[in-house]
Amino acid sequence: MLKNNKKSGFSMVEVMVSMLIITSGSVGFVTLQSAVIKAEQNADLHQIAVELGISKLEDLSGFVDIEDTIGQFDYADIGDNTGGVQPAGDVSVAISAENLETHTFNRGWAVTDLYFVDTSGDGEPDSWVDASSPDAPIPLPAVPMQKQVTITVGWENVSGDAKSIEVNGNFAPIPVGRSTQALNETESAKDSPTVSYTPGEAPDVIAYDLGNGEKVETSKPVPDIVNNSGNISVSFETVRFSQLDSDTTKLEQEDFLTINCSCQLAGSGQGKTPAMTVLNGDQLETELGSFVEKQTGVPRDNQQAPLCTACCRDHHDTSEMISNEEFYKKDGNSPHMHYKRQSNGNFSPAINVGDEYDEVCRFKRVDGLFEMYPDWQLLDIMQFDDQYLYDDDKLNGYIDYSEDLIEASIRNSAPPIRPSDRNRTLAAGGYQYIARGIYLDRMKSSHKAEVLERIQNNDDSWKAIVPFYDVNLTLLASWATTDPTVADVTQEEIRSIVDPANNYYGTYSRGRVQAKKDGSVDLSVSSNAGNAGITGTYPVSANEAAQNRQDADIELTVDTRSSVDRFFAIIGDIECLISLNGGLYQPCETQNQKKSTFVDLTALSIVEAPNQFSCDISIPNGKATPFYSCENVSENWRGAITFNLNVPAASTTIAVENTSRTTSFGGFLEMPLGISETSTGEHNVLIRVVK
């Protein structure tokens, strides 16, 4: 009988073939992973280019006057690669703070002067044309009716390919009464038209009944925020409107902008007193400031924003200004001093000409131009979760508290007690919290006396003659918890918000509570009471630093249902970029369904196997960064989470940052070792859509 001499195991040939297959698969995975990383890096570069273009538009929008004035940036100065603080040419941007890596972009802009003219021969202007058009007016007006600006930003991607984007904007001279069209219009055409208005909805926008048939509200969920090389400008508008059963009419809009600047003393000179809100009969009006002899300042360097020229020059007070109740702010009963904040937190006084100091100034748009206003005065800041004001009783309680607070300030009486129904018990997971600030402008004595008389007569219309403001401070205030190991809260650096009207994608996070393990913590939010609170920057003096407003009344109890098992949460951001018609990637629109870049992130499917918990998608109120949160994940759970998104008429790829901080292509998050603590920001979802 013959014996079978074949032994169990693998031959050398089989081993070689197996190694070849494994190596090929590994190379394919590495190549695919490298492609994903490159795509992400290129998307980041594209986003930076967009921000550089928008930053320049914001820079050009800061012109001080219309006609050219020596020493300041005016409408007449806007031309090809000229105008504003930011120069044309190369811009180096820090890509990584860890290894000081930078990337160079090239920014330039072209300007076309436009004129509104009659092209149909009926005597009525109907079309915009440039100076080269045969329909252009002869002679050309000294001031173009519009300047069309095209900003081009170019760069090389990580593969060395040349890329560029364009950002477009139009600027009009204000006041427009200087344009040919406005000068020749009829008197009836100058009457204010009736403008329909659509009020916002709580909890994003809070409307106050003024007691005279009118209401007032801030018209956006959160302010516009632009961080331009350290100059942080924050702007928002308030709208007063009348509301009948079938018609809502806008009556007045106030535009405010607050900006921080670096200045140096320039000695005695001509500077403006503040414009102020005054009472004229039953109407609030703006009284413009006037030039007086006083201490003045100038911007420290040519890197400051255009409005810093007026900020540094004018934000100084005299004893006479205080006596006349026409001052920006005061220290006790004396004109405020100026200081430079040192790295150790101390403040060095600016006394001599040339001494540097920090400044934050508030502006209001009056007749189309920004005028300096007295400093903001924050009465109180209040926090609650983003679902709180959906409850009508709680919304009314918040409004009642705010109005009682304003009344108490005017009466100089004790403030009311904040609503006490804001404590919460949280499962492990992520929760967005909101902070709102109530501001009251300083009023002259005669103005305040009229308000007090109406209050004492129980005349509810007192609110109609009081300049107060309700501002969402979520992305500007400072957040903290008493024990970050139980629950912490995001406090990311303030950045420019690229599309504040529709999409806050890709910006920063503040106020997101992340519950981790069982226990109780106090959540606190604070803001400076003056202008620095609006910009989220350091206070400009020790006196201002002491004027802080804080709400630490909320207690959060984290209950992870701990029994035999401990339970945690998995929380991650959702990053979505979209490419249209083969173009460069840009942020997905998550709010406005009418946009071609809209992607419905609520349709993102999250399936866990084994199925032992649930995951939710959050697109927070205020339109901060979307995120997902899987709650009540047992420490003994072993499995995988699959993310899937079907975008109509588009191809979609999903990558997930895995436990090892690598990117897993295909939408899978594998958790083979279970979970020992709440995971926050370690497993972000990266979505790429091509339409």
At 304-347, the pLDDT tens digits run 888 899 999 999 999 999 999 999 999 988 999 999 999 899 99
Please name the amino acid found at residue 235.
S
Confidence category of residue 496, pLDDT binned at 50, 70, 90? low
- With a cut of 60, say whether residue 184 has pLDDT above it: no
For residues 503 and 488, which has the higher predicted lDDT (pLDDT)? 488
Q: Residues near 396 by Cβ (< 8 Å), separated by ≥ 6?
A: none
Query: Which value, to the nearest 10 degrees, does the dihedral of the CA atoms of residues 286, 291, 292, 297 take?
Result: 100
- With a cut of 70, say whether residue 444 has pLDDT above it: yes
For residues 662 and 592, which has the higher predicted lDDT (pLDDT)? 592
Mean pLDDT for the chain overall: 83
Highest-confidence segment of 473-487, 558-572, 663-677 = 473-487
Highest-confidence segment of 181-185, 217-221, 223-227, 293-297 = 293-297
Q: What is the mean pLDDT of residues 558-564?
A: 64
**Which of 51-60, 94-103, 357-366, 550-559 bottoms out in mean pLDDT, i.e. has the lowest?**
94-103
Confidence category of residue 662, pLDDT binned at 50, 70, 90? low
Q: What are phi and psi of 249, to 5 degrees?
A: -120, 130
Q: Residues near 314 by Cβ (< 8 Å), separated by ≥ 6?
A: 271, 272, 273, 274, 289, 296, 328, 361, 372
Task: Return the percentage of the chain with pLDDT > 70, whole number.
Answer: 84
Task: Compute the distance between CA of residue 300 and CA of residue 309 in angstroms, rounded to an integer.
Answer: 10
- With a cut of 70, say whether residue 19 has pLDDT above it: no
Q: What is the pLDDT of residue 64?
A: 74
Q: Residues near 529 by Cβ (< 8 Å), separated by ≥ 6?
A: 376, 377, 378, 544, 547, 548, 549
Task: Return the percentage of the chain with pLDDT > 90, whole number.
Answer: 45
Q: Is the dihedral of CA 287, 290, 294, 299 positive or negative?
A: positive
Confidence category of residue 497, pLDDT binned at 50, 70, 90? low
- With a cut of 80, say whether residue 100 has pLDDT above it: no
Task: Catalogue the long-range contacts made by 610-617 (C-beta closer than 8 Å, 24 or more residues apart).
Answer: 610/637, 610/639, 612/637, 613/637, 615/570, 615/641, 617/574
Task: Compute the distance between CA of residue 597 and CA of residue 507 in angstroms, rounded to an integer.
Answer: 17
Closest by CA to 115, choosing from 134, 140, 139, is: 140
- With a cut of 60, say whether residue 17 has pLDDT above it: no
Q: What is the pLDDT of residue 153?
A: 92
Highest-confidence segment of 102-116, 230-244, 311-325, 493-507 = 311-325
pTM above 0.75, yes or no: no
Q: Residues near 284 by Cβ (< 8 Å), separated by ≥ 6?
A: 277, 278, 465, 467
At 160-176, the pLDDT tens digits run 889 988 888 888 776 33
Q: What is the mean pLDDT of residues 516-538?
A: 93
Q: What is the pLDDT of residue 97?
A: 44
For residues 187 and 394, which has the higher predicted lDDT (pLDDT)? 394
Q: What is the pLDDT of residue 143?
A: 81
Q: What is the pLDDT of residue 611?
A: 82
Contact 597, 588 (CB under 8 A): yes
Q: What is the mean pLDDT of residues 43-49?
A: 80
DSSP state of 667: S
- With a cut of 60, say whether residue 224 has pLDDT above it: yes
Confidence category of residue 585, pLDDT binned at 50, 70, 90? confident
Closest by CA to 297, choosing from 349, 262, 321, is: 262
| Domain residue spans of the chain | 47-183, 567-690
Task: Catalogue the long-range contacts made by 20-27 (C-beta closer than 8 Å, 24 or more residues apart).
Answer: none
Peptide bond into 484 cis (omega under 30): no
Confidence category of residue 14, pLDDT binned at 50, 70, 90? low
For residues 527 and 158, which has the higher predicted lDDT (pLDDT)? 527
For residues 29 and 56, which has the higher predicted lDDT (pLDDT)? 56
Q: What is the pLDDT of residue 276?
A: 96
Q: Residues near 411 by Cβ (< 8 Å), separated by ≥ 6?
A: 452, 455
For 275-319, give the DSSP string.
Answer: PEEEEETTEEEEEP--EEEEEEEEESSTTS-TTHHHHHHH----H
- With a cut of 80, say whether residue 22 has pLDDT above it: no
